[in-house]
Structure 1
C-alpha cells in the first residue's frame, strides 16, 4: 500500500511510505522464514535495539524484554545495533532462533556527530539510506520548485502532480519508510532548524546549497521518533553565517551525515541552586519534605535516549534516586513506614561521608485497598496532538483502567478552549465504556488548564468517598495558556483545592513545549505525586506494576528533620530536595504541606558529611562567635552522629505523629556498604554530574558505572541495568 500526501490550500504535508519489504522479498516471499530471538548485553536484555536485514530496508526493534521477530532468507545477514554497542552481523543459514550479545563500543573508537544534537555514533554504524543532492544538481533542473527538482535525483522518491481545476497538488512517495506514528509525516530540517514542507515547497532551488534525503530505518536511528518517516535536510546558501555553514557542509562531505538537529527551546524548567554545605554550629537543624516523584528521571532518560544534552535544571537528584526500589525491610509494627539509615564513605569526594536515610512504606493488600473515586483530567488542546502526547496518554490511561474494581468509579473531564465532562462517574467494572470515552478524545484548541482543574475537583467533591481514595489524575504536557497561567496562579489554585481532601496525581507527556515547572508545582502543592510518561513501558510501570504505590497514600505531610552532632560533623549538605526544603519552625506546624507516601513506596535521602578534623576545599568556615557557647551536652552523646525526627499524618488525619531515630557514628568503608547504599550513591553521583555540580571532585563516568554495578542486585525489572546504559551513553553526548 502506498500513502500519498497532497500539498494544497497552503498546508503542506509530506507522507513517506514505509515498506520493509524489498521487491525481491515480495516476489519470493515463500523463501523467507521468521527469525526470532533476544538482544542483550552484559547487563541483561536490550529494549529498543535495531534489527535489520543487511542490504534491505526490512527491520524492526526489540521489545521491552529484548525480543524481536523478523523475516529473512537463509542467505540473508542480520545486523544488530544499539547506541553505545558494537554492531553485530549474523548469517541466518538454517537458524530460526538467533540470540545475540552486544559488546560495549565506545572506548577507543572513533565517533562522529549524527542527526540529534550531541549524539555520536561509531563511524561505521550509520549506513546507506540517505543521499546528498548538491545545488548544481537541483538548479540544472528546469522545474522552478525545489520539491519537483528532486525528481530523478533520489532513489525511491517518486513525485506526481494532479490538478483538480482549483489547486495543483504535488505528491511525494519515499520508499523504504515505516509508520509508527500513524501520520506518515516526514521531518523537514532547513538550516539546522525544524521546518515545514510548505516552507520547502516555496523555496527557490537557487537558494539551496545542499540537500539530504534520509530514508528507511536510518531516519529513526539518527533522529529518533521525529525521523521515523524519513527526513529531508536542507542547507541554504544564505541562511547561516559562512563559518557555520562551512562547518556543517564539511561534516556532510566528510561523514556523509545529516546536519545536527536543533530542537526548539520551548521546554520550561524551574531554576534552582544546589544545596551548599552548612555548619552544625550555625545551622544545627536541616528540615525537608519527602519527595516520591520520579518525573525528572524519566525525562532525563528521554533526553539521553535521544542523544540530547540534558538541561541542568531538568535534573532533580532526589527524583532520580527515588525512581528505583531498594531492598528495605517492611515495617513490623503499626507504623506506616519503617526507617533505615546507613553511614559510609562518599564516592565523589575523598574523605567525605554519606548518610543514607531510607523509608519503606507498608504495603496494603489489594483486597484491603479503599474504594477509589478517580477523575481523569485530560488535556486535549492543540499542543497534545503529537504521537507521544494524546495517543500515548490514551494507551497509558488504559493501563490504569485495567486496575479498577467494581466499587471504584471514574469520571473524565477534558479541557482545551474550555472544560467539559465527557464521562460521568462510571463503575470500574464498565471498562469498555471508560476506554471508549478515552478513544473518542481528539486534540485541538487552546489550553484552559485552570477551568479544567476547577471542574475536575468539583466532580471529585460531589462524588467524595469518605475514607476512600479520592484523586484527580491530571494528564497533560503542562502547557496552560488560557485563564490562570502563571506558576503563582496555579500554586494558589491548587493549594485551595487540596483542602477538599482530594489528592492529585500529575502525568506529564510529550516534548518540545513540555512545561515541567508547572507540573512540579501542581504535584508539590496539591497533596500529589508527579510522573513523566516517556513511553508505554513507563506507563506500565507507574500505572500498572506500581499502581498501589502511585495511587494509594498511606501517610501524608511526611517531614524529616535531622540534627547533627558538631563533635563528629564539621559540615553537611542535603543532596537534592532543593525545592522541598522547609524552615525549622515548619517541622511542627501541622498546617504546612509536605510529601505523601504510597503503599509499598520507598523514599531515600542522602546527606554528604565533612567529618570533624577533615581538610576539604568545600568546608564552610564559621567565624568564632563572641556570645555563643559551645554545646556542653555534646560530650554526653559522643557516640551519636545525628538524630532524625519524622512527622506524618494519616491520609485523612489533621494531627501529625512524630518518630525519632538516632544514627551512631562509625568508620565504615564503601566496600562494606550495602548494595542499596552503593546504587543510590551512584544514581545521585550521576545526577550531580549531569547538573555539572561544582561540589564534586570526581566526575568520571567509569567510576559511576562501576559503583552502580556493585549495587545492581534486586533488578528483576531491569531498571538498574537500564540506568547503567544511560551512564554509558553520556560518554557520547557533548
Structure 2
C-alpha cells in the first residue's frame, strides 16, 4: 500500500507543477441581490476591443480560462435577465492562475420576442479564394467544447497546438470571426534583443570633474515600454532607457531667444526620492520652424518587406504611417521607395510629392515575404538619396523595420561600420521600429546613433500620428548635429554626482573638443532633458564610498573647489547641419537649491518619469519602489494634458504598480 501511495504522489507532482506554470484566469460569477451563482453565464475576454477567448460558468458559477497570454484585458460577463458587466484593465500575470470574481445585478430591461425569418449563407462563392467556415452561436451551444479557442477545430484544414494553423501555414496573418466578432490568438514567440548596459554610478568630482555625453532625442524606449506594460508584462531591464522615456514628453520649455539653433537651461532642485540629495535638471530646447521656413526634402522610404513583417502591426501599419507622412510634404519635396527582403529593390524612383496618387499606389502594392537583406537595402537607399541630393535641403533615409536582419551584413559591428561610412555623405537617417516578438532594438540603436539620425518605435496609429504629424519637423528636419554636453562640477558644493540614464551616450572628456567625434542630432522643436543626482558636500550618504589616504600625493590641495556660489559650468557644442566646424557655448549654474514644492509642474513631471524609469530598471539608488511619489510629482501636469500622453503615463504607472503587487485584487 505504501508503494502505491508513493507512486500516486510522484505521478501527481508533474500535473501539479503544470497547473501552476500556465497562465490562466479563474473566478466566480454571482448575483448582487442574492449572492447566488450565475449558472451557465458567459464570460468573454477582450483585448483592444477584440474578442480573445471566452467560456461559460459551471453549475456553481465558477469559470476557468486557460492558455491566456500575459496582458491587460477587459472581462465581460453576460446572462439573460442580468445586466452585462464589463470590468476593464484587468492585469493577467504570467505563469500563475489569476483570480477575478464578478458580481452581476438584475436588469430592468423587459425581454421582447424576436422572430428570425431567414438565415442563409451562400453555398459556393466563385470569387472567393479563401478558406473558411461559418460557426454560429447557436451551433456552438451544442458542441462538446469549453472555450472559443476550441471552435476552430470544427473547420476542415484547421489544427490547434500551441498556435492555430491552417493546412500547415503560419497563424499570425489569419483572422477568425464568430458571429461577426473578430477573434484572435495574441501569443507570440519572444525573440527580441536589447543592448545590455550598466547603470551610471556616483562619481567624485575631485577624481572626475567632467561629465561628457552626446544628446539623445530618441523616444523609442518609452513607446516600447508602454507596449510591454499594456500587455501585462514588466519590460526587460535593458529595454528601459531612462533618457528616452523622459524625452518622450513635451515640457513646454521656453522658446529659444538667441541666434543659435537651441538654448540651454539649468535648475538645481531638492531630490524627492533621496532626502538630502539634489537634482540638477538640464534642458535644451530647439527652435521650431514654420512650414515656409523648412528646406526642400529629398526622402527615401526604406521599407522592410521580409516575411517577418507580415503581421498587422508591421507592414500594414508601416504603409499607413508613411501615408500620414506623405500628407505633411509639400509639392516641391521628393519621395523614393526602396524595399528589401531577400534582396533590395526600387519600388519607386524619386518622385515629386505632388504626384501623391503615384506614391500611394506604390505603397499599396507592397507585400511581405522572404528573408531580410537589410544592409543591401540601406546601401541602395543611400545611393538613391545621393543621386537626388538637394544642396542645403533635407536629405534623409527613413527606415521602417522590425530590425530582424538575417541575410548579408547582419551583425552589429558590421552594421555600425557600414552606417558610419554612409553618414559622411550628408544624408541623415531615421528609423521607425515596428512589431513585437522578434524586435531587434539593439540593431536599431546602432543605426540611429551612428547614422546621424533618430529612432522611434511605432506600435499603433496614434504613435505614428505623434511621430510623423505632430512632431513632423523634429523627426524629419535637423537644426543642429553632433550636439554634445560637458559639465564641470565644483567640489566645493558637490560631494558626488551621477547622470540618470544616457549610459549608451557617454563620451570621453577629450571627445567634447574633437569635431571628428560623432554625437546626437536635434530636430526642429525637439527638447532634450538630462538629470543628475547630486550628493552635496556635508551630506551623509551610504552611496559615497571611502578609500585610504594616498601616500605619494596630497589630493587635499586641489580638492577644495572654489566657494563662488557656482555649482557647475555647463558647456555645449554643436554643428549646423551642413557644416563641419562646431560652435561652443557655456553657462554657469547657481548652487542655490529650489524646494521641490516650488518647482514648475512640467519639470516635476519629468522628474517623475525619471523615477519611474529607475524603478523599471531596478536601480541600485532607490529605497523601495515609490510609485505613489511618481503620482504626486506628475499629477498636476497630467491634469492639463492637451495630447493625452501624460495622462496615459499615469495609467502606465498604475499598471506597473499593480503588476509589482503579488496578489491581484479586483472588484
- Relative to structure 1, the CA distance from residue 433 to residue 199 in structure 2 (aligned partners, 3 Å threshold; closer, same or farther) is closer
Instruction: Tell me the equivalent position of 2:246.
Output: 321
Question: Take 1:160 and 1:504, find their aligned partners in 2: how far apart are those partners?
Answer: 47
> 1:731 offset after TM fit, Å?
2.5
Secondary structure of the corresponding residue to residue 513 of structure 2? coil
Instruction: Tell me the equivalent position of 2:282.
Output: 357
> 1:701 offset after TM fit, Å?
1.6
1:595-626 deviation line (CA, Å, top 9, x unaligned):
00111111000000011111112113354344
Instruction: Tell me the equivalent position of 1:229.
Output: 183
Secondary structure of the corresponding residue to residue 589 of structure 2? strand
Question: Take 2:202 and 2:565, find their aligned partners in 1: how far apart are those partners?
Answer: 23
> 1:366 offset after TM fit, Å?
0.8
1:638-674 deviation line (CA, Å, top 9, x unaligned):
3011111000000111000001011111233211111
Instruction: Tell me the equivalent position of 1:414.
Output: 339
Secondary structure of the corresponding residue to residue 222 of structure 2? helix
Summarize the alignment of residues 287-302 of structure 1 with structure 2, pairs less than 5 Å apart. Answer: 287-302=212-227
Question: Take 1:331 and 1:125, find their aligned partners in 2: how far apart are those partners?
Answer: 57
- Relative to structure 1, the CA distance from residue 300 to residue 216 in structure 2 (aligned partners, 3 Å threshold; closer, same or farther) is farther
Residue 157 of structure 2 contacts residue 167 of structure 2 at CA under 8 Å; is this kept in 1? no
Instruction: Tell me the equivalent position of 2:355.
Output: 430
Question: Take 1:560 and 1:159, find their aligned partners in 2: how far apart are those partners?
Answer: 58
- Relative to structure 1, the CA distance from residue 709 to residue 199 in structure 2 (aligned partners, 3 Å threshold; closer, same or farther) is same
Summarize the alignment of residues 173-184 of structure 1 with structure 2, pairs less than 5 Å apart. Answer: none
1:206-265 deviation line (CA, Å, top 9, x unaligned):
xxxxxxxx9979x9xxxxxxxx6245xxxxxxxxxxxxxxxxxxxxxxxxxxxxx97523
Instruction: Tell me the equivalent position of 1:82.
Output: 88
Residue 400 of structure 2 contacts residue 431 of structure 2 at CA under 8 Å; is this kept in 1? yes
Question: Take 1:583 and 1:560, find their aligned partners in 2: how far apart are those partners?
Answer: 11
Secondary structure of the corresponding residue to residue 245 of structure 2? helix
Instruction: Tell me the equivalent position of 1:18.
Output: none
Instruction: Tell me the equivalent position of 1:693.
Output: 619
Summarize the alignment of residues 58-207 of structure 1 with structure 2, pairs less than 5 Å apart. Answer: 79=85, 81-83=87-89, 113=92, 122-124=100-102, 152-154=143-145, 170=156, 190=162, 194=163, 196=165
Identify unmatched segments of 5+ residues in structure 1: 1-46, 57-74, 85-111, 128-146, 162-168, 173-185, 202-213, 220-227, 232-260
Residue 51 of structure 2 contacts residue 183 of structure 2 at CA under 8 Å; is this kept in 1? no
Residue 452 of structure 2 contacts residue 521 of structure 2 at CA under 8 Å; is this kept in 1? yes
TM-score normalized by the length of structure 1: 0.70
Q: How many residues align?
A: 548
Secondary structure of the corresponding residue to residue 268 of structure 1? coil
- Relative to structure 1, the CA distance from residue 731 to residue 159 in structure 2 (aligned partners, 3 Å threshold; closer, same or farther) is closer
Equivalent position to 1:616, from 527, 541, 544: 541
Secondary structure of the corresponding residue to residue 238 of structure 2? helix
Equivalent position to 2:599, from 661, 673, 677: 673
Summarize the alignment of residues 327-476 of structure 1 with structure 2, pairs less than 5 Å apart. Answer: 327-476=252-401
Question: Take 2:462 and 2:278, find their aligned partners in 1: how far apart are those partners?
Answer: 36
Instruction: Tell me the equivalent position of 2:585.
Output: 659
Question: Take 1:572 and 1:363, find their aligned partners in 2: how far apart are those partners?
Answer: 33
Matched, 1:513 2:438: yes
- Relative to structure 1, the CA distance from residue 680 to residue 632 in structure 2 (aligned partners, 3 Å threshold; closer, same or farther) is same
Question: Take 1:309 and 1:549, find their aligned partners in 2: how far apart are those partners?
Answer: 30
Matched, 1:729 2:655: yes
Question: Take 1:653 and 1:374, find their aligned partners in 2: how far apart are those partners?
Answer: 20
> 1:498 offset after TM fit, Å?
0.4
- Relative to structure 1, the CA distance from residue 123 to residue 659 in structure 2 (aligned partners, 3 Å threshold; closer, same or farther) is farther
User: Which moves more between the two structures, 116-125 or 572-581?
Assistant: 116-125
Question: Take 2:267 and 2:338, find their aligned partners in 1: how far apart are those partners?
Answer: 46
Question: Take 1:379 and 1:159, find their aligned partners in 2: how far apart are those partners?
Answer: 32
Question: Take 2:260 and 2:449, find their aligned partners in 1: how far apart are those partners?
Answer: 24
1:421-454 deviation line (CA, Å, top 9, x unaligned):
0100111111111111111000000000110001
Secondary structure of the corresponding residue to residue 281 of structure 2? strand
1:267-303 deviation line (CA, Å, top 9, x unaligned):
0000110101110011110000000000000000000
Residue 119 of structure 1 contacts residue 308 of structure 1 at CA under 8 Å; is this kept in 2? no
Equivalent position to 1:280, from 205, 209, 213: 205
- Relative to structure 1, the CA distance from residue 631 to residue 657 in structure 2 (aligned partners, 3 Å threshold; closer, same or farther) is farther
Residue 360 of structure 1 contacts residue 603 of structure 1 at CA under 8 Å; is this kept in 2? yes
Instruction: Tell me the equivalent position of 2:610.
Output: 684
Secondary structure of the corresponding residue to residue 156 of structure 2? strand
1:296-347 deviation line (CA, Å, top 9, x unaligned):
0000000001111211100000000000011211111201111111111122
> 1:126 offset after TM fit, Å?
12
Instruction: Tell me the equivalent position of 2:487.
Output: 562
Identify unmatched segments of 5+ residues in structure 2: 1-46, 57-80, 106-134, 171-175, 661-667
Equivalent position to 2:569, from 620, 643, 656: 643
Question: Take 1:428 and 1:563, find their aligned partners in 2: how far apart are those partners?
Answer: 48
- Relative to structure 1, the CA distance from residue 635 to residue 298 in structure 2 (aligned partners, 3 Å threshold; closer, same or farther) is closer
Question: Take 1:477 and 1:424, find their aligned partners in 2: how far apart are those partners?
Answer: 24
Question: Take 1:597 and 1:119, find their aligned partners in 2: how far apart are those partners?
Answer: 47
Instruction: Tell me the equivalent position of 2:500.
Output: 575
- Relative to structure 1, the CA distance from residue 616 to residue 475 in structure 2 (aligned partners, 3 Å threshold; closer, same or farther) is same
> 1:51 offset after TM fit, Å?
12
1:132-182 deviation line (CA, Å, top 9, x unaligned):
xxxxxxxxxxxxxxx9x9982138877898xxxxxxx7167xxxxxxxxxx
Secondary structure of the corresponding residue to residue 498 of structure 1? helix
- Relative to structure 1, the CA distance from residue 470 to residue 714 in structure 2 (aligned partners, 3 Å threshold; closer, same or farther) is farther
- Relative to structure 1, the CA distance from residue 571 to residue 113 in structure 2 (aligned partners, 3 Å threshold; closer, same or farther) is same
> 1:189 offset after TM fit, Å?
6.0
Residue 446 of structure 1 contacts residue 482 of structure 1 at CA under 8 Å; is this kept in 2? yes
Instruction: Tell me the equivalent position of 1:306.
Output: 231
Secondary structure of the corresponding residue to residue 499 of structure 1? helix
Residue 648 of structure 1 contacts residue 656 of structure 1 at CA under 8 Å; is this kept in 2? yes
> 1:352 offset after TM fit, Å?
1.1
What is the aligned-residue RMSD (CA, Å)? 3.3
Matched, 1:600 2:591: no
User: Which moves more between the two structures, 471-480 or 710-719?
Assistant: 710-719
> 1:628 offset after TM fit, Å?
4.6
Question: Take 2:377 and 2:188, find their aligned partners in 1: how far apart are those partners?
Answer: 30
1:402-436 deviation line (CA, Å, top 9, x unaligned):
10111100000000000010100111111111111
Equivalent position to 1:720, from 641, 646, 660: 646
Instruction: Tell me the equivalent position of 2:173.
Output: none
> 1:713 offset after TM fit, Å?
5.5
Matched, 1:524 2:502: no
- Relative to structure 1, the CA distance from residue 427 to residue 76 in structure 2 (aligned partners, 3 Å threshold; closer, same or farther) is farther
Question: Take 1:514 and 1:117, find their aligned partners in 2: how far apart are those partners?
Answer: 23
Summarize the alignment of residues 35-50 of structure 1 with structure 2, pairs less than 5 Å apart. Answer: none
> 1:197 offset after TM fit, Å?
5.8
